[in-house]
Amino acid sequence: MNKDEVEIKLYIADLKAFEARVQSLGGQAVQPRTLEINLRFDSPDGNLTRAGRVLRLRREMDYRFTYKEPMRIVDSVSVRKEIEFTVGDFDAAKAFLEALGYRVSVIYEKYRTVYAFQDVDVSLDELPFGTFTEIEGPDPASVNAVQCQLGLNSDARVLESYLVLFERLKAHRNLAFRDLSFENFRDISISPADFPVTPAD
């Protein structure tokens, strides 16, 4: 699929209460809580990351290969060109990318639950360092409208990726590990001030 990814991200302090709000306003669950394991690829010199491009292989309910162009901001919403399709063999897809000279630069994990809310998807994301929502829709106006209907503070929007937040957190806390995994954060206590982010709920 070749499309524009149109979304906002917000830090949520109480994810259970927010999920109850989404349900009470008519959100319909379309994906149960699912563990995602994401492999981010880059060239040996880090050229893709420096250019703001994403090359990713994701293991969730299926296997997905994704390429994203650099982000641009439209009406306070992140918009980026995205090509995504499913693959039948995760290990073969990884070997294919490595044969082309790409290497895994970071592995990151999260649990994701997805609700359909009007004409957008509202994702509830549980990462090793905190809980977030992503609101993705067909255009910035739809995303902005749903953010308002859900009672979220627009000033708390996070336009950076989870990996940018991770790099900021590592620098702030002097963390040396590469991967954003639940195991790496098992004995580490994180607060919103470590990013920093502001709760939107």
5-38 pLDDT, tens digit each: 999 999 999 999 999 999 999 999 999 999 999 9
Average pLDDT of the segment spanning 58-80: 95
Query: Is residue 67 very low, low, confident or very high in pLDDT (cuts 50, 70, 90)?
Result: very high
For the segment 194-201, the average pLDDT, to the nearest whole number, is 94
Domains of the chain, by residue range, sit at 2-194
Confidence at 161, pLDDT banded by 50, 70, 90? very high
pLDDT band at 59 (very low <50, low <70, confident <90, very high): very high
| Residue 1 binned pLDDT confidence (cut-offs 50, 70, 90) | confident
Q: Where are the beta strands (DSSP E) in the chain?
A: 2-11, 28-42, 54-59, 63-68, 72-74, 77-87, 103-117, 120-127, 130-136, 157-158
Q: How far apart are CA 49 and CA 53, in angstroms?
A: 6
CA-CA-CA-CA dihedral for 167, 156, 117, 26, to nearest 10: 130
pTM over 0.85: yes
Please say if the pLDDT value at position 3 is more than 90. no
Whether pLDDT at 193 is above 80: yes
CATH class of 2-194: mainly beta
pLDDT > 90? residue 159: no
Average pLDDT in the chain: 96
Burial class from Cβ neighbours inside 10 Å (0-12, 13-18, 19+) for residue 21 reads: middle
Dump pLDDT digits (tens) for 106-115. Answer: 999 999 999 9
